[in-house]
Structure 1
Amino acid sequence: MRASVPAMSLQPWFRDAKLGVFVHYGVYAVDSVAESWSFYTGEVSHERYMSQLDRFTAVRYDPAAWADLFARAGARYAVLTARHHDGVALWESAQGGLDVVRHTPAGRDLLAGYASALRERGLRVGLYYSHSDWNHPDYPTLVHPDPPAHDDVLASAYVTPQDGVEDPVAWDRYLAYRDGQVAELIDRYRPDLLWFDGEWERTPRQWRMAELANLIGAAAPDTVVNARLTGHGDYATPEQGLPVRAPDGPWELCLTVNDSWGYRRGDDRHKSVRMLVRYLTETVGMGGNLLLAVGPREDGTFTAAQTDRLTGLGDWVRAHQEAVYGTVAGAPPGHHYGPSTLAADRRTLYLVCFDVPREAVTVRGLRTPLRRVTVLGTGTELGHRVVGGLHEVPGTTVIDAPDPRDVDPYATVLAVELDGELDLYRGTGLR
């Protein structure tokens, strides 16, 4: 919940969505270099990076095709990089700065069609926006007082005045530019979600996060905002690694389909569909969403490898959607050897089995009696029984292994229908 704005709760659609697509699209796709970071770290010169502006055409950009692909992937929302750290906006901003409309051959707004196409397919519209802008002349005018995890911000001429002399007036101009662009995004495209980044380069006070939160809360109170609106966001955003313990409150795992956020020619380290199913089910089983990142080529098209991963994941989701959408976190670790989800009414527990079950699937600590167990996707009913148990300690629920013909090649899901709400024993078993 955001502070300093009218009281609100996270919009229900976000918790129920489970899967989103994260699209890093910008001039960096021309030479397939790292988005913004490649000139910041010296991977390429600033001059070479900026020369990509002259060759960015988006000539085959088809937002309707994007929306169709995302829907087929099973996603319920998408997030597009409206403006990354390089400061190149995908719309024509009245606030000045760089944008693809006036400064590239693409010559048109790339956000309007995206927002319309997603809404036509029933998908929620997300926009990424970086607080930082490493090309804006007023940006490197303030010094972070204590950057413990990002010492590079003190050394970078793109961030910090190298003579150490601050210019508060220039910084005020920069924040007016940032706030003006955020207001434009809200007014023109009505995003369901704003995904901020770049927050580590200043303190929340320097960013005036409370004031920005007030702006968003007044203009778009139903817009979901991530926690990088520091101190005022709705949900946490761990990246590239599934946490061992779920963050407190709502959260979303940001994961690349290969090793790169944007398009990198030669990055063939794509995760298999099976691995993506594992990431999705483990994330949802811990109560989070998966935001899966793909990067279009300069012309606006996705590679076959990325498309195959998205459609393959979507095929699995469609066959098992009952165990994905609208669920809550399942049983904690130790009750089942794999992730699980729980229906919103808490009367059906969905057990995910990555490996082919041998002889039986077991559940420990289940107090609620079972009504029946079926294989999700085929409907085949499985036998079950309780073995052992003493006094308040329930026995082990043993479910017969499904026939090999009912086993999914990526992950098999068993729907355990309960005679009441889920009740789990969490004790030590000692008398």
Structure 2
Amino acid sequence: MEPYTATKQNQGKQVISAYLIQYQQLQHVLDISIEDIVAPSIKDIYLRKNPAAANPQIVLKNNGKETIYSATIIYKTEGFKEQKEEWRGELPVGSSELITLSGLVNFSSGQNIFTAKVQNPNGKADQYPDDNVLSTTFNSPPVHDTLLVFRLLTNNQPEHNSWKLISHDGKVVVEKRANELKARTLYSDTLRLSQGAYTLLFSDSAGDGLEFWYNSDGGRGEAWLLDGNDNLIKAFEPDCGLGWIYNFTVSQNPDPINRQNKAISLYPARTSDFTKLTYFANHQKDIIVKLISDPGGEVVEERNYPNLKKGIFDFDLTRFSYGRFFLKVFADGQEIFNKRIRYVEPAKEPDADFYVWPTDPLVSQKLHDWQDWKFGVIIHWGPYSEWGVVESWSLCPEDEPWCIRQGPFAHDYYTYVQEYEKIQQTFNPQKFNPDKWADACKRAGMKYVIFTTKHHDGFCMYDSKYTDYKITGSESLFAQNPKSNIAFEVFEAFRKTGMRTGAYFSKPDWHNDDYWWPYFPVFDRNVNYAPSKYPERWERFRKFVFNQIEELMGNYGKIDILWLDGGWVRPVKTASNESNQEIIEKGYNQDIDMPSIAKRARQLQPDLIIVDRTVHGMYENYTTPEQEIPDHVPNHPWESCITLGDSWYHTGPEENYKSLTWAVHTLIKIIAKGGNLLLGIGPDKTGDFAPEVYTRLEEIGNWINVNNEAIYGTKPLAPYHHGNLYFTQAKDEKTKFAFCLKEESDNFPNEIKLPFGVDIRKAKIKLLGYKGSIRATSIQDETIIKLPKLTTKLKNSPALVFSISITNQY
């Protein structure tokens, strides 16, 4: 039972939960039940997905004594004929499984009742049929005409985006892959469809959608669905994380278009000069736009647009003083849009004042060594892989598309948390073989590993003595496995190959009662009480973090890097930039005493590199831009952490992995600016990498083996890149390297032009991987290299590498 005591809007809700659990011996040999109807269901509204138009999903559970291999499923919407499917699979005793059916979802306009029934487990009568039937309600999905238009305006990083339209039988009707889209381009695709059910899927492999506040370099894109008469049906949310799913049906009797539909956007909301207002509506109205100072409420600019249907309008803020403004849009006198703008001073020169070089000579030397490693792997793995959900973040009640809850428990937060924390009882990665991981990463050319010892959910992938919520805990199914101390096994396996090791550790711990105190509700990722008001509780948490880091640094062999995540856990005085505005406004001083942690960690690991991510200063020995490469060349140590698949975690068998071309080009672009690439991989629930991961790692290693002298131990060479050319140089500056990049569908040119001169008489020019001689000419500030007849292997390479060594001989 869950009585809600809140009685007013926006009032905090206190939820009291009670459970009666009774254990008894299984009574029946064959007993199957329907535990939940995931789709169609009214619960879709909690997932920010529209109702399913096809392929119902139900959860079956085996309550009997024998494994179930088959069952009959009968389902219908009230008022329509029954549909029947025969399920085949394997449902062990006590387990549940989400089943996707192949039929359409019939519906009437408005609310519908859907009923599913399961019977005949293993072809025999169910011995307890009382739990074989379940019903749910759902709202009718949208019905559209046979002629539609999908319009996509890409942002600055379309290489992350793709979309496709799929019919209910799984056929791809239209598809646009990431490599087919250009930046800042408006695409308009006409969809001529036959009657039936369809799903429109948009994906962003970087997880930052068409717009994300943290990735200002990405810019903003838009996506709309229109009818054949240019009327707006739906405007999709640009801040969509990994993407969105839109289900609909097509009929000759479509739903009427809502004449009030409109799409209004403003970007950027933080600017040093201009911002842009985009307006699209289904019919003309008299529009007034007001720019209002905040605070003060003064209208500093007002514009009138009579009979406006659509348009894009620039606003120049350079005429005003720096500060905050509201941009409000009024239609026929009624306010329809209101967004705050921050007009700020132009950014200072990058890296001007936040980086602090380490003074400890051991740390300084290790950091210089680390800069030579160039290529590493970060492995996100935990019980969440059992469900195939985002690591930890679905526990966080922040309303973001990339961290929404999924699955049969998604409709209720408190039930979801309880079930999530029970995953350890079924998480049993019997294929866990860290030696196999380490060998694959070593052969790929990686020099170091960062492993998630504990993510924000608080579940320890090592044998911590300070919590039982761990892989070796009393409720963990995997605890009896001889390799149950997973972090220890991972570090040992990678060290055996000669690779260096790093421990990812989350400073926030959402399982710990001294961080998320059950006395108060949880609203976001932060501590849910004021540490200044409850200092004893915060002190317990601080000691807990200290103790866990101490045991990792003291009991797990040589650790080279302590990689701390959860940058919002920091002294409030360090939260001085725009991205930490929420910390500033709350005023919660989440100070875990990094000086004490760093001192103890380096007593145990004297040359330890510490990365307190995003908390600039002496404990962030290198910076870690996430899912992006900086536009400028940082003048301090840095590492881009970027996923090989769709996300940090293993999303399931449908996960999309980036190509060899993408991987090689990304590595080159990063090392040309002096950085390291930390490639993200998520093992699956069995404890293994996906087959595509092993294939990609082998391909990357094959390319690096040919070109390794241009990668490891190098430093940037101005101008860093020129068109499709990128440059590095040896530490002694006697050898320069030029990378010529090629897309998969292109051919290498007959010659390349380097933007610097070379004394040909003193230079030895080689094409790495090619045994013949190379012809070149040099004229003033340009060197022209003629490409020889390439072998098939070099023709198909994502990049050619030339070395130019200067000798003293003529």
Same fold (TM over 0.5): yes
Matched, 1:93 2:464: yes
Match of 1:379 among 771, 777, 801: 771
Aligned position for 1:123: 499
Matched, 1:313 2:700: yes
Aligned position for 1:144: none
Aligned position for 2:739: 352
2:531 and 2:595 mapped to 1: Cα distance? 26
Matches within 5 A, 1:258-277: 258-277=645-664
SS, match of residue 414 in structure 1: strand
Matched, 1:400 2:786: yes
| Bigger share in helix | 1
1:162 and 1:132 mapped to 2: Cα distance? 13
Match of 1:198 among 552, 566, 576: 566
Match of 1:343 among 730, 754, 779: 730
Aligned position for 1:58: 429
Aligned position for 1:146: none
Matched, 1:416 2:771: no
Gaps of 5+ in 2: 1-355, 398-403, 411-415, 575-588
Q: Displacement of 1:82 after TM fit?
A: 0.3
Superposed CA deviations along residues 6-51 of structure 1, whole A, max 9, x for unmatched, are 7740514311111111100101100010000012145142123222
Count how many residue pairs are aligned between Structure 1 and Structure 2: 402
SS, match of residue 655 in structure 2: coil
Q: Which amino acid aligns with 1:214?
A: K
Match of 2:487 among 85, 95, 111: 111
Q: Is the 8 A contact 1:97 1:136 kept in 2?
A: no
Aligned position for 1:39: 395
Matches within 5 A, 1:182-193: 182-189=549-556, 190-193=558-561
Aligned position for 1:17: 373
Q: Which amino acid aligns with 1:183?
A: E
SS, match of residue 695 in structure 2: helix
Superposed CA deviations along residues 318-374 of structure 1, whole A, max 9, x for unmatched, are 111111111112332465742122112211111111134423211123366651211
SS, match of residue 196 in structure 1: strand
Q: Is the 8 A contact 1:73 1:310 kept in 2?
A: yes
Radius of gyration: which is bigger? 2
1:57 and 1:13 mapped to 2: Cα distance? 38
Q: Which amino acid aligns with 2:364?
A: S
SS, match of residue 785 in structure 2: strand
Matches within 5 A, 1:112-191: 112-140=488-516, 156=523, 159-161=526-528, 166-189=533-556, 190-191=558-559
Aligned position for 1:424: none
| Bigger share in strand | 2
Matches within 5 A, 1:213-362: 213-228=598-613, 230=615, 231=617, 232-333=619-720, 337-355=724-742, 356-362=747-753
Provide closer, same or farther for how the CA distance between residues 380 and 224 of structure 1 changes in structure 2, counting only shifts above 3 A.
farther
1:309 and 1:166 mapped to 2: Cα distance? 52
Provide closer, same or farther for how the CA distance between residues 363 and 38 of structure 1 changes in structure 2, counting only shifts above 3 A.
same
Q: Is the 8 A contact 2:379 2:681 kept in 1?
A: yes
Aligned-pair identity in percent equals: 28
Q: Is the 8 A contact 1:260 1:267 kept in 2?
A: no
Provide closer, same or farther for how the CA distance between residues 90 and 158 of structure 1 changes in structure 2, counting only shifts above 3 A.
same
Q: Which amino acid aligns with 1:116?
A: E
SS, match of residue 216 in structure 1: helix
- Kindly indicate whether structure 1 or structure 2 has the higher relative contact order, using CA contacts under 8 Å at least 6 residues apart: 1
1:268 and 1:211 mapped to 2: Cα distance? 41
Provide closer, same or farther for how the CA distance between residues 5 and 358 of structure 1 changes in structure 2, counting only shifts above 3 A.
closer
Superposed CA deviations along residues 136-162 of structure 1, whole A, max 9, x for unmatched, are 000136xxxxxxxxxxxx972663336
Q: Is the 8 A contact 1:335 1:365 kept in 2?
A: no
1:262 and 1:404 mapped to 2: Cα distance? 39
2:767 and 2:620 mapped to 1: Cα distance? 39
Q: Which amino acid aligns with 1:380?
A: G
Q: Displacement of 1:2 after TM fit?
A: 6.8
1:5 and 1:156 mapped to 2: Cα distance? 40
Superposed CA deviations along residues 185-205 of structure 1, whole A, max 9, x for unmatched, are 111113111111002243267
SS, match of residue 438 in structure 2: helix
Q: Is the 8 A contact 1:10 1:234 kept in 2?
A: no
Gaps of 5+ in 1: 142-153, 390-394, 421-431
Query: TM-score with structure 2 length normalisation?
Result: 0.47
Structure 1 stretch displaced more, 40-49 or 104-113: 40-49
SS, match of residue 387 in structure 2: coil
Provide closer, same or farther for how the CA distance between residues 221 and 343 of structure 1 changes in structure 2, counting only shifts above 3 A.
same
Q: Which amino acid aligns with 1:216?
A: A
Q: Which amino acid aligns with 2:514?
A: D
1:19 and 1:7 mapped to 2: Cα distance? 22
Aligned position for 2:272: none
Aligned position for 2:334: none
Aligned position for 1:148: none
1:4 and 1:320 mapped to 2: Cα distance? 34
Q: Is the 8 A contact 1:5 1:218 kept in 2?
A: no
The CA RMSD over aligned residues, in Å, is: 2.4
Q: Is the 8 A contact 2:363 2:609 kept in 1?
A: no
1:242 and 1:2 mapped to 2: Cα distance? 22
